[in-house]
Amino acid sequence: MNLIAELEKLLSGLHADLPGVSSLAGLDELQTVYLGRKGALARLMGRLPELSPADRPAFGKAANAVKEEMVSLFAQRRKVYQTQAEDAGLARFDPSLPGRLPGQGTLHPVTLVMEEICRILVNLGFETVNGPEVETDFNNFQALNFPPDHPARDMQDTFFVREGVVMRTHTSPMQVRAMLEKGKPPVAVIAPGKVYRRDSDMTHSPMFHQIEGLLVDENVSLAHLRGTLTFFLRELFGPQVKVRFRPSFFPFTEPSLEVDMSCILCKGTGQRVIGRGGKEPCRVCKSSGWLEILGAGMVDPAVFTAVGFDPECSGFAFGLGVERVAMLKYGIDDLRNFFESDLRFLKQFI
């Protein structure tokens, strides 16, 4: 048979086959049969050498025309299926259904408490500063009057990055950075952030948060420290809170103080009222009526000397653990809750 006649037969074959296709997949299959690499058209074109050289150009032209037509027939058909599929999707769309809200996150309780603490202190005039969690031994220890090999370093189990570089064990090195940066008094800063210690149990985590405070100015006294911290704790926990100051030791303050506040659960009585007039020992303050909440003191002259300030300067400093405050405020008794990313726990603090 004449090859050009066969081309025409192929095209009418496709015209006849197309109406029988009922799905997009069927259409794909049919396209392979006709236009695939080993399909009917390709096979026909492979027979070109059977023709005399004079007949070849006419056949080539006809074959290309048939191919173009086939491609466009498949494309038209494909469009019909796509429109049908879209229409079907629209038919399934029910505009009266309530919308699905995207999942909404909440702030972590530690973040919430940290923000509240900073807000109170910023209102008092402190400026917030941030610094690195990888710190030099000089800033973390030496400038804060912990000499090398001094037993006071044992108070803080340390992660060493390499000789002379540590994960900061407290936010106190920000005192050093702030004073070096300002160059001279007055300095009034707070430094919130993460700190690291080689420690892990119910009440200790290898990473936790602290907020450091530092005020350096003329004639700063212990009275200013007491007034500031008493005001701060009453803003944070309520006006009924009583505050007491006990002597303590930190290398970077002299005198050093431990600050306690009356227990917020038993209101300082050491006992909790249960049922009808019954009482039980308060588990939060272990019946003492008091909770340790802050470390503080007057800046040691050795710290002023280390940062090039006049050792006659006056200032106070304080530091507190944010998780501890959050545990007390929200009545949480296991620190690990904060770090386990359990949404049932985290979603309670909106």
Select the residue interacting with ligand DAH from 263, 317, 325, 327 (CB under 6 A): 317
Beta sheet of 253-262, edge-to-edge order: 127-128, 187-196, 207-217, 314-321, 290-299, 253-262, 243-250
Min dist CB 215 to ligand DAH, Å, is: 11
**Per-residue mark of binding to ligand DAH, 247-266 (x: CB under 6 A):** ---x--x-------------
Q: Can residue 314 be called a binding residue for ligand DAH (CB under 6 A)?
A: no
Query: How many residues make contact with ligand DAH (CB under 6 A)?
Result: 11
CA distances from 221 to 30, 71, 317 (A): 92, 91, 11
Min dist CB 254 to ligand DAH, Å, is: 10
Q: Which two tokens stand for residue 217?
A: 């100015």
Cβ(141)–Cβ(175) below 8 Å: no
Given the structure tokens 């996150």, which residue do they identify? 105
Radius of gyration of the chain (CA): 39
Select the residue interacting with ligand DAH from 168, 170, 177, 324 (CB under 6 A): 170
Site residues for ligand DAH, 192-231, by CB under 6 A, read: 212
Among the listed ranges 71-79, 157-165, 312-320, 331-339, the one in contact with ligand DAH (CB under 6 A) is 312-320
Select the residue interacting with ligand DAH from 34, 232, 237, 318 (CB under 6 A): 318
What does the alpha-carbon distance between residue 232 and residue 213 come to, in Å, rounded to a whole number? Answer: 12
Instruction: Measure the CA angle with vertex 145, ends 143 and 146; round to 5°.
Output: 105
Among the listed ranges 92-100, 129-137, 281-289, 315-323, the one in contact with ligand DAH (CB under 6 A) is 315-323
Site residues for ligand DAH, 289-308, by CB under 6 A, read: 295-297
Cβ(62)–Cβ(4) below 8 Å: yes
What does the alpha-carbon distance between residue 40 and residue 263 come to, in Å, rounded to a whole number? Answer: 90
Min dist CB 154 to ligand DAH, Å, is: 12
What does the alpha-carbon distance between residue 238 and residue 348 come to, in Å, rounded to a whole number? Answer: 21
What does the alpha-carbon distance between residue 220 and residue 318 come to, in Å, rounded to a whole number? Answer: 14
Among the listed ranges 113-121, 260-268, 278-286, 316-324, the one in contact with ligand DAH (CB under 6 A) is 316-324
Cβ(329)–Cβ(323) below 8 Å: no
Report residue 236 CA to chain centroid gap: 25
Minimum CB distance to ligand DAH smaller for 14 or for 137 = 137
Site residues for ligand DAH, 139-168, by CB under 6 A, read: none
**Per-residue mark of binding to ligand DAH, 99-138 (x: CB under 6 A):** ----------------------------------------
Minimum CB distance to ligand DAH smaller for 145 or for 253 = 253
In the complex, the residues that contact ligand DAH under the rule CB under 6 A are: 170, 172, 212, 250, 253, 295-297, 317-319
